[in-house]
Structure 1
C-alpha cells in the first residue's frame, strides 16, 4: 500500500494529459504484479506449485545469495517474492529511430531518466504506439522484455517470465536486473545496459565455476562468444548505415542503399552460420523485417560490453575495485565517461 500511495502521489503531480495516462498505466501495471506476488518460500512449499517452477525458484534463491556474497550485488528484498503474471513477457518496449538515422529516439521518465525505449505492460498498447510513430515516418521495433527494474526504489519480484528453460538465461536475467540496482546512471542507457550485460555474463560464469560445473562453463563461454560475434555483425551494419545517412547523397539513394545493407547483413549471417556448423539460434531474430530500430536496441545493450570486460581484466578480476571505478565513471559527463572508459581499457 505504501508503494502504491507513493506512485499515485507522483502521478497526480505530473503535467500533461498524455503523460498522466502513461504513468497511470505504468502504476496499474506494476500494481497488478505486486498484487499477485507471494514469498518465494511460500510458493516453494505450496503442494500446488509445479515441480519445474519449484526447482527453478530454489535455484534462483541460491543464486540470489551468490549474487550478494560473491558478486557483491545488493542485499535487499528484491527477488524474494514470486508472481505468475500469466504472460510471456513482463513488459514490451518500443524502440524508434528516424527513417534515415541510427540514433534512437529517447523518452525521459521519473526515476529512470532518459531511455532509448518506452515500455508498456500491455503488448497491444506498445504496438499501437509503434504504429503511431511509423505513421510519422519512424523505423520502429517492439521487443518483449522478461523483466524490468525499479532500480532499488521498490522490491522487485521474481516473475514467471524470468523462469526460462535454459539455466544460464535464468541466472543471467537475475544478475542483470540486480546490476541495475548496484549502479545506474540517469541519461546514459548504453553505459547502464553495457554494465548490466557484462555483470550478467561474469556472474553466470562465476556461478558455474563455483559449482565446479566446467562443462557448463565451456558451453556458456561458447554461447557468449557466438552472441558477441552475432551482435558484432549487427553493429558493423549499423556503422555502415551511419556513414550512409551522414553522406550528402539524395534521400532516395540512401533509402535504396539502406535496403542493400540489410540484404548484405542477411547474407553475412548465412556465412556466419556456416562457420558455426549450422547453429541456428539467431534465425528467428534475423527473419524479422529488419530496420534501424532493431540495430539501435542491440547497440544500447552491446556497444560497451567489451570495455567493461577489459576494465575488470585491468583490475585482475577484483569486483570491488571494478565497481569502485565504475562508480567513479558514473560521476563524469557522458562524453567524459565514454572517453575515460576507452582510455582505461587501452592502458
Structure 2
C-alpha cells in the first residue's frame, strides 16, 4: 500500500513538471514509472517463495542465502532496515535495466542528464532494451560515441521498497550478497549530482560488507576466491583507466580532428594489445573477451573511474573509524555537507594520507 502511495506521489510530481519539461522528458519518466510499477506488481515475499513447493530448489537455496545477507546488512553493516530486498521478483530476462552512456567523439567526459529526485547522472537508464537502443541511435546521429549496457540491479534511493530481483541472484555468493550491500548503501547515503562519490561509497560498503560476511560465515576459501576475482577486476579496470587517461591527454592537446582520430585509434589498438598481455597473467581467463570485442569507444571508458576513483579515500575513512560502521557513516555524512569542490579536496587528502 505504501509503495502505491509513493507511485501516486511520484506521478503528481511528474505531472507538475509538465509545464517545464519537454515531452520527451515526460515520456522518459513515464517509462521509469511503468517499468518499476510492473516489478512491484509481480513481487512476492521472499519467505512465501521459499515455502512454495513449486519453487526451483536452486532458486530456493539462493533466496535463503540472500535473505540471510539482507538481515546481516541491517544488523551488522547498519544499512537501512526497511522493506527493500524482502520481496522477490522473477524478472524473466538477463538484465533489469539498460544504461546509455555517451561522449563527444573527442572527449572522455560523459554527457549528463538531470532528473527529478536523483539530480544529474552520467547515464540514462531504461527498463526497455529497445527504448535504450532507440535513444542511443539519436545520440549516434549527433556524432556521439555511445555505449549501451545491461544492469542487474538499480536503486530507487529509498523512495520505494526495492524488491530482490532474479537478475541479482549471482552464482557467486560474494557478488550475490555484495550487490544487496551496494544497493542498500545508496539508500543510506546519496548526494545529488555526484555519481563518483556515490558509487565509490557504495562500492566501499560492498567490499567491507563482503569481507565481514565471510568472516562471520568462516568460509575463508570463498573469501580468498573473491579476493582473486576482485584483484583481476581491479587490474582490468586499471588497464582501461590507462587508456582513458591517454585519451584525456590526447583530447586536451588541441590537435586538429584528423590527428585526434589517428591518436584515438592508436590508443584503442594499444589497449587490445595490453589486454592480451594481461590475459597471460590471468592464465588466459576469458571473462572479459566479449566486452573487449564490442568495438570500443570513448563511452566504454567514460565511467571506468566512476566506481573506483575515490575508493581508496573511503577505505582510509573506514580504517580511521577502526571498522566501526556508525563512525564511518557519520564521517561520510560530514563529507556530504560540503560543496563538491570541498568534498573532492577532502577525498584527495584522505587518499594522500601516509600510513
Tell me the equivalent position of 2:267. 261
What is the aligned counterpart of 1:5 among 1, 4, 8?
8
Indicate conservation of the 8 Å contact 1:149/1:156, yes or no: yes
Residue 305, structure 1, aligned to residue 311, structure 2: yes
Describe how 1:102-251 pairs up with structure 2 within 5 A. Answer: 102-251=108-257
- 2:106 equivalent to 1:100: yes
Deviation of the 1:344 alpha carbon: 2.2
Gaps in structure 2 of 5+ consecutive residues? none
Report the counterpart of residue 279 of structure 1 in structure 2: 285
* CA displacement 1:50-109 (0-9 Å, x = unmatched): 111111111011001111111111100101111112111111010011110000111111
- Contact 2:312–2:351 under 8 Å retained in 1: no
- Structure 1: which 5+ residue stretches go unaligned? none
1:25 aligns with 2:31: yes
Q: Describe the SS at the equivalent of 1:73.
A: coil
Verify: 1:330 aligned to 2:331, yes or no: no
Question: CA shift at 1:342, angstroms?
Answer: 1.5
TM-score, with normalisation over the residues of structure 2?
Answer: 0.95
Q: Which residue of 2 aligns with 1:91?
A: 97
Contact 1:97 1:293 in 2 (8 A): yes
Distance in 2 of aligned mates of 1:63 and 1:261: 42
- Which residues in structure 2 correspond to 1:56-67 (within 5 Å)? 56-67=62-73
3-state SS, counterpart of residue 329 of structure 1: helix
Moved more, 317-326 or 289-298: 317-326
SS at match of 1:300: coil
Q: Which SS does the other structure have where 1:317 is aligned?
A: coil
Give the CA deviation at 1:252. Answer: 0.6
Aligned partners of 2:7, 2:318: CA distance in 1, in Å? 39
Question: What is residue 316 of structure 1 aligned with on the other side?
Answer: 322
Secondary structure of the structure 2 residue equivalent to 1:299: coil
Match of 1:35 in 2: 41
Question: 1:184·1:192 contact (CA, 8 Å) conserved in 2?
Answer: yes
Counterparts of 1:72 and 1:283, CA distance in 2: 38
Query: Between Structure 1 and Structure 2, how many residues are aligned?
Result: 347
User: Shift in Å at residue 325 of structure 1?
Assistant: 1.2
Q: 1:25 Cα shift?
A: 1.1
Q: Take 1:4 and 1:313, find their aligned partners in 2: how far apart are those partners? A: 40
Decide whether the 8 Å contact of 1:104 with 1:116 is kept in 2: yes
Identify which range, 335-344 or 310-319, moves more after superposition.
310-319
- Superposition deviation, residue 318 in structure 1: 2.5
4+ runs deviating over 3 angstroms = none
**How far 1:156 moved relative to its partner?**
0.4
Q: Note the alpha carbon deviations across 1:244-278, whole angstroms, 9 max, x for none.
A: 00002111110111011011111111111112222
Q: Is the 8 A contact 1:314 1:345 kept in 2?
A: no
